Amino acid sequence: MKKGKLIFGLSILAIIAILAYVKIGKNKEAKAKQGSLRAMGGKMPALAVDGFLVEYSKLADNISANGNVLAQDEVQLQPEVSGRVTYLNIKEGAFVAKGTLLLKINDADLQAQVAKLKTQVKIAQTNFNRLAELLKIKGVSQAEYDAAENTLNNIKADMQILQAQIDKTELRAPFSGKLGLRNISLGAMVSTTTIVTSLQNTSQLKIDVAVPEKYASVLNLGDVMSSKIAGINEPVLAKVAAIDPVVDEMTRNLKVRAVLLSPNAKIVPGSYVKVDLKLKEIPNSIVIPSGAIIPDDKSTKVVIVGDSSKAQFVNVEVGVRTENSVQILSGLKLGDTVLTTGLLQVRPGMEVKIRKAVSNSTIQ
């Protein structure tokens, strides 16, 4: 028992001795660093960084955005009335002309009513014609003639109502296009909510793209965008045909619709598309690498090197952003050197040493 306590006590003393030795070693190292700083006059060594020389250049502004391919016209076909399907003419993927009868719902009861009204029209028409002859010789009164005419017109109006109801039992192609997949079979009971199939007019394809609202003032009708569509190696060109006049409040994006200029049978509606739109070049712009920007909650900053080789943090106003560069609207002047490396280590007033300075031609 006593032997165990002795071993435990010796172990504690050994640990304390090791910690004391480590602390003494760190103190000696710190004193050595302080001695070397004193030998250098008490100054920290200059931070070696890379820089960028500010100059005027042309800014080729490009928009990169994602979008979807749309058909010129697209519709989900649904019947106007409920009933049992007695005729079905839907061949999946086939092209149909406008007005083609695709589906017919049982209308036997309506046809029977039409037959009944046809008989009534025939009788009413005969009676009306007879009264018209008698009116010429004053054989009947004008009131009797008008009553017969009203009866005839009412029956004809009832027939028109029935014919409109019969027309609703037929589903016809509203425009020429390709049929989608069929969702029902002959003899099925359908309602006005049943989606029978889809119809798409793919003679002209469109692209809908959402771009940031800041490009609203520079987008123009007729601008040509290069589109990359999954599964197609060659870029596809599209011309801007319409621009939504309202910015989406949730995404702060503007919807742009373009028309494909080069038709391709492999392109189908719904395909994902990546769009690159080259806007007009902006001359005499100050452009710096995007990596030189230091974002902040209240402002955007960059670090420049002053005449005394000391780091200075300056606020800048940014304009158009591209993949590799940022346009500076204010805060920098020609000849300034902007730091592009060491941004995490540099502090205001710290002495820096530029290892390499590049110009705008390097990042274009």
What is the per-residue pLDDT across 132-174, written as a single tens digit (0 to 9) for each? Answer: 999 888 888 999 999 999 999 999 999 999 999 999 999 999 9
- The pairing of strands 253-260 and 272-289 is unpaired
Percent of the chain with pLDDT over 70: 85
Domain at 111, CATH number: 1.10.287
For residue 304, the domain's CATH number is: 2.40.420.20
**What's the average model confidence in pLDDT over 183-192?**
95
Pair 114, 150 in one domain: yes
Q: What's the distance, CA 139 to chain centroid?
A: 78
Same domain, 99 and 189: yes
- Residue position matching structure tokens 């590049």: 358
pLDDT the model gives residue 91: 95
Do 201 and 68 lie in one domain? The reply is: yes
Does residue 101 register a pLDDT over 90?
A: yes
Domain boundary among 168, 184, 216: 168
Does residue 15 register a pLDDT over 90? no
CA distances from 198 to 93, 184, 190, 201 (A): 10, 12, 16, 10
Backbone angles phi, psi at 126, to 5 degrees: -65, -45
Final residue belonging to a domain, choices 168, 183, 212 = 168
Kindly give, in sequence order, each residue whose CB lies less than 8 Å from that of residue 237, ignoring residues fewer than 6 positions away. Answer: 224, 225, 226, 227, 260, 261, 262
Q: For residue 156, what pLDDT is reported?
A: 94
From 280, 299, 316, give the residue that closes a domain.
280
Question: Is the same domain home to 241 and 272?
Answer: yes
The answer on 268 and 232 residing in a single domain is: yes
Q: Which pLDDT score is estimated for 14? A: 65
What residue type is 156 in one-letter code?
K
Q: Which two tokens stand for residue 291?
A: 């990596």
User: What range defines the domain where residue 207 resides?
Assistant: 64-72+195-280
Residues 91 and 184 in one domain: yes
**Residue 39's pLDDT band (cuts 50, 70, 90):** very low
Question: In this structure, are 310 and 206 located in the same domain?
Answer: no
| Kind plus residue range of the DSSP H or E element containing 257 | strand 253-260
293-316 mean pLDDT: 85
pLDDT at 279 over 80: no
In the chain, how many domains are there?
5
The verdict on 52 and 151 lying in the same domain is no
Same domain? For 266 and 238 the reply is yes
> If we measure between CA atoms, which residue out of 161, 159, 166, 162 comes closest to residue 105?
166
250 and 347, same domain (yes or no): no
| Digit-coded pLDDT (tens) for 72-90 | 999 999 999 999 999 999 9
Query: What is the mean predicted confidence (pLDDT) over 274-280?
Result: 76
Domain shared by 186 and 96, yes or no: yes
For 63, the enclosing helix (H) or strand (E) is strand 56-77
Write down the pLDDT at residue 217.
73
The CATH number of the domain holding residue 213 is 2.40.30.170
Instruction: Give 206-251 pLDDT, tens digit per residue.
Output: 999 988 887 777 788 888 888 888 778 888 888 999 999 888 888 8
Q: Look up the pTM and report it.
A: 0.61
My answer on whether 83 and 186 are in the same domain is yes
Q: Tell me the helix, strand and coil percentages in the chain, rounded to 5.
A: 30, 40, 30
